[in-house]
Amino acid sequence: MYKIVILTDSNRRYLEVLMTNNLLDVLHHITMAQQTQLNLTTKLSRIVYEETYATESGAVDRLKELQTYTRMQRERLVRRQNPNWLNLHPAVKPVVSLYNSTHYAS
C-alpha cells in the first residue's frame, strides 16, 4: 500500500506532497523533527490529505501530477476531503516548549 500525503504547518503556509509506503515512518520523522527543532520539517506538523494506492506506479503517477498542481489546486483538493484542515493523524501533535509556558500561582 502506497500513500500520497499532503503535509502542512499550523498556519497552512507550507504544503508539501510526499509519497510513502510506510506512514508510520513519516509520522515518526515529523515527531522527531519537532523534538529536535530541525529546519523546514519542523513546520510540517499536520497531515491534511491522503490517498492510498495498491501499486507503486499508480502512486508515482499521482505524485507527479500533484507536484505540478498550483498552490490553489492543492488547497482545493485538501478542502474537498478535509474542509477544516484537521490533522488526519492526531498522534502527531506540536511539541510545546516548557520554557515558553506561563505558570500562575494558585
**Summary mean pLDDT of the chain:** 78
CA–CA gap between residue 33 and residue 55 (Å, rounded): 29
Q: Which residues pair with residue 3 across a beta bridge?
A: 20, 52
Segment among 6-20, 57-71, 85-99 with least mean pLDDT: 85-99
Q: Are 52 and 3 in contact (CB under 8 A)?
A: yes
Residues in the chain: 106
Q: What is the pTM of this model?
A: 0.72
- CA nearest neighbour of 44 among 84, 94, 91: 94
pLDDT tens digits along 13-62: 888 888 888 877 777 766 666 555 555 445 777 889 999 999 999 999 99
- The grid cell for 99 is 520554557
Amino acid at site 72: M
**Has residue 93 got a pLDDT over 60?**
no
CA–CA gap between residue 93 and residue 51 (Å, rounded): 21
